Amino acid sequence: MAAGAQGWGAGLNAALSAQGREPAIFSRAQSYIGVMIDDLVSRGVTEPYRMFTSRAEFRLSLRADNADQRLTPLAASLNCVGEERRRAFGAKMELLGKGRAALEAVAFTPREAASFGMNVGQDGQRRTAFTLLSFPEITFPDLVRAAPSLAQIDAATRIQLERDATYANYLDRQRADVDAMRRDEALEIPPDFDFLALAGLSTEIKTKLAHSRPHTIAHASRIEGVTPAALAVLLATIKRQERRRSAG
């Protein structure tokens, strides 16, 4: 599958080059193809490449259910989408936009939500219907009972909005984690740091780190096979040790 994706990407860009057009760039935040290509170009490989979800910093947003939302606009800009699909996608996005706006336009206090059988924390905070939809025990029919105007949203759009609401808070946290990681890339790794003692990492990753002995987090990120999750563990361990030294 990875080899096929590489061939597809190479063929697409070869065609664009023949037409005198700019190459298609797939970002890590946009697709797994982007993650793979960036890994191969920036880190290289010494063995067949394996596409693990752990390689992606934005894997919560790289989901099967939103693949068309992420990639159809790019495909359309490259003329890789037929007119029928363009129209279908445009109609879907219009419905999603209107549905999201309708959910955001309705809000309830905890007491109002409870009066319709939706139990949320009694903190006095007013929440939109979209936010309430992220609660596992609250369903779209619950919202429709509370706000009948939401009944106009069709079944397919409801399903996508439910998924988007479910992941919304996690995506915000993920973006915050990634931003923090980028800020910490310049953090220096102590010369005597024991990579083999890192907890929660595979022996393979620990061995690669110990062999390369990176001097910064950014340096460690360029080592083949070192995933974003592994970098997070490394960063947390270094900061924990720094706090202990400061306290001592």
pLDDT digits (tens, 9 = 90+) for 80-92: 999 999 999 999 9
- Which of the residues in the chain have pLDDT under 70? 178, 181-182, 248
Q: Which residues, at least 6 apart from 38, have a Cβ–Cβ distance to it below 8 Å?
A: 27, 28
Residue from 83, 68, 76, 72 nearest 160 by CA: 68
Note every long-range contact of 87-93, with CB atoms under 8 Å and residues 24 or more positions apart, other chains counting: 92/68, 92/156, 92/157, 93/69
Residue from 53, 26, 62, 74 nearest 227 by CA: 53
Task: Give the fold, CATH level 3, of 195-239.
Answer: DNA polymerase; domain 1 (1.10.150)
Residue from 220, 215, 166 nearest 193 by CA: 215
| Mean pLDDT, all residues of the chain | 90
Residue ranges of the chain assigned to CATH 1.10.150.570: 195-239
Look up residue 148 and give its two tokens. Answer: 């009948």
pLDDT digits (tens, 9 = 90+) for 200-237: 899 999 999 999 999 998 889 888 888 878 988 999 99
Contact yes or no for 229/54 (Cβ under 8 A): yes
What is the C-alpha separation between 31 and 69, in angstroms, rounded? 11
Strand runs labelled E in 74-210: 107-108, 127-128
Q: Which residues, at least 6 apart from 128, have a Cβ–Cβ distance to it below 8 Å?
A: 103, 104, 105, 106, 107
What is the C-alpha separation between 34 and 71, in angstroms, rounded? 11
Q: Which residues, at least 6 apart from 12, have a Cβ–Cβ distance to it below 8 Å?
A: 24, 78, 80
What CATH number is given for 100-183 in this structure? 1.10.10
Residue ranges of the chain assigned to CATH 1.10.10: 100-183
